[in-house]
Amino acid sequence: MAQKKLVKLTQQEEALKEPEAQLIGTSAYQPVEEQEDEILFEPNAGPQTDFLASSEREVLYGGAAGGGKSYALIIDPLRYCNNQNFNALILRRTNDELRELIHKSQEMYPKAYPGAKWMEKKSQWTFPSGARIWMTYLEQDKDVLRYQGQAFTYIGIDELTQYSTPYAWDYLRSRLRTADPSLPVFMRATTNPGGPGHAWVKKMFIDPAPHNTSFWATDITTGETLAYPERHSKAGQPLFRRRFIPAKLLDNPYLYEQGDYEAMLLSLPEVQRRQLLEGSWDIAEGAAFSEFSRLHHVVEPYDIPNSWRKFRACDYGYSSATGVLWFAVDPADETLLVYRELYVSKVPAKELAHMVLAAEEGEAIHYGVLDSSLWHKRGDTGPSLAEQMIVEGCRWRPSDRSRGSRVAGKNELHRRLQIDENTGRAGIEIFNNCTNLIAQLPSLPLDKTNPEDVNTKVEDHLYDALRYGIMSRPQSRSIFDYPNQIPTQRWAPADTTFGY
């Protein structure tokens, strides 16, 4: 009787010594023996192999349905099950959803490690070495307390977007530790786009860097790189790396070649079809701007001629966030170009004025549009926030906040997002360095009580700045322009107290 070849999951030694090393395209599997016997598992070339060979601390394997994500998640921890100190946790949101993972593990684990036992009451695998894999559920945020005081060297979550907040993911990170120097610690997740947690998962894994690229972990609220505190010996150094690996049905040849599953996905409504078949993260259920496409609306930065008319728009907030966008108008076809963004929080108005002027130094900015609420209403005293910026030389004019202006602005953006049949160009293009705007725009949901407007309770600061800008009647030339006229960068108000 032929022996079964145990296919052992390994990582290159360089990856274990330097966790930030990238192993893109490197196989994660090496046979223990060389005899030609049954191979229990061999990863598909492409994303599945990339996922199993990843050395980053946190990795998301996501995208279209049918990419072999769940199977890869239960295979991945097997590489360390010959170590008695290995303790893994694999989660689904409900116990019913967990059954499929358990069923798949029962097919593979005893073959890979003869003597491995599944204990139904504990919902746990134990291996001859003493290693353990706990497969259980985490339905609500409060369920993370079940794992308080425990330590895991590997944590995996299947269908991460089913969690509406990052609370569980962040808490479980605190359970990730080991005293065995030979064991690295990892967090892994798989998911499809969509679901209640679509927005935060997108901000954590998809937006910070191009797909399949290693990047330093950032705070999803501020966008700043997570770093060691001042009291630490590594003060200021980044903490760890993340990576998003996209997958599509085409990457799973066993399922793709049958054709039936693809036909089913093609029959779905547009939003679900783009999420589950194309693996698109730029569209969400109830999205206000479902026509937004990175292919048509996001472009590589290029040098903008000095002759193009430029302006800026701002939505100010201190406790929440401030969004500033810079625009240029292409005189060839009046296409509006968003070429720069500034997205900050807890910045006073006066300091913001200096940040804006520094960003546009040397440019001819024809005008700026600012949220009109920053000009005090009648009866108020003291300088307004708008006046504080104007005094510093950062000139603004009030935005339109009249009745119906929000709906009108949304409709104008729909018009700008349309693709011209003759030129194949959209009415608005965004430089790909405007990462926050690109992340926020396709995720904006419609207002459930007024579908003609977006939901104002979500993160919409850059959208508001965009709306102010496109509603300022931007043109490549103004009737007030004179030949060779270049606006002065700094403007001295007649009254330095009030900024008029």
Q: Domains plus CATH for the chain?
A: 4-276 (3.40.50.300), 294-470 (3.30.420.280)
Each residue's pLDDT tens digit, 416-475: 999 988 888 999 999 988 988 988 888 788 887 888 888 777 788 999 999 999 999 998
Q: Which residue has the higher pLDDT, 326 or 143?
A: 326
| Nearest-angstrom CA–CA distance, 268 and 273 | 5
Segment 50-67 shows an average pLDDT of 83
Mean pLDDT of 124-135: 96
User: Does the structure show a pLDDT above 90 at 338?
Assistant: yes
| Angle subtended by helix axes 405-417 and 461-470, to nearest 10 | 80
> Hunting for tokens 């589950």 — which residue is that?
276
Q: Is 30 a residue whose pLDDT tops 60?
A: no
Mean pLDDT, rounded, for 369-394: 84
Q: Which residue has the higher pLDDT, 497 or 397?
A: 397
Lowest mean pLDDT among 62-76, 267-281, 352-366, 394-408: 267-281
Compute φ and ψ for 473, nearest 5 degrees: 55, 55
CA angle at 459 for the pair 456 and 463, rounded to the nearest 5°:
80
State yes or no: pLDDT of 96 exceeds 60: yes
Of the two residues 380 and 29, the one the predictor is more confident about is 380
Closest CA to 145 of 174, 165, 177, 187: 174
Q: What's the mean pLDDT when you consider all of the chain?
A: 81
Q: Given this model, what pLDDT does residue 32 score? A: 43
Question: Beta strand 428-431 with 336-344: parallel, antiparallel or unpaired?
Answer: parallel
* Separation CA 22–CA 57 (nearest Å): 11
Within 10 A of 81 (CB to CB), how many other CB atoms are there? 24
Question: pLDDT band at 45, cuts 50/70/90?
Answer: confident
* Parallel/antiparallel/unpaired status of strands 322-329 and 309-315: antiparallel
Average pLDDT for 148-152: 89
CB burial class (10 A; 0-12, 13-18, 19+) of residue 382?
exposed
pLDDT at 393: 92
User: In angstroms, rounded to a whole number, what is the distance separating the alpha carbons of residues 137 and 94?
Assistant: 5
pLDDT at 95: 85
| Mean pLDDT to the nearest integer, 374-379 | 70
3-state class of 88 per DSSP?
A: strand
Q: Cβ-count burial of 391 within 10 angstroms (0-12 exposed, 13-18 middle, 19+ buried)?
A: buried
Give the position of tokens 């930030």. 20
Q: Model confidence at 264, in pLDDT bands (50, 70, 90)?
A: low
Q: Does 2 score more than 60 pLDDT?
A: no
- 202-235 pLDDT, tens per residue? 889 988 888 889 999 998 877 788 888 888 888 8
Closest by CA position to 311, among listed 371, 363, 355: 363
Backbone angles phi, psi at 276, to 5 degrees: -90, -30
What average pLDDT does this structure show over 365-391?
A: 84
pLDDT given for residue 367 in this prediction: 94
Neighbours of 254 (CB within 10 A): 9
User: Per mean pLDDT, which range of 259-263, 399-403, 446-450 is the poorest?
Assistant: 259-263
pTM over 0.75: no
Range in 126-130, 294-298, 307-311 with the lowest mean pLDDT: 294-298
Side-chain half-sphere of 157: how many Cα atoms within 13 Å? Answer: 25
Reported as a pLDDT band with limits 50, 70 and 90, residue 274 is low
Which residues sit opposite 117 in a β-bridge?
126
| pLDDT for the residue 285 | 63
Residue 247: band (very low, low, confident or very high) from pLDDT cuts 50, 70, 90: confident
Instruction: Characterise 97 by phi-psi region: left (phi > 0), alpha (psi -120 to 50), beta (else).
Output: alpha
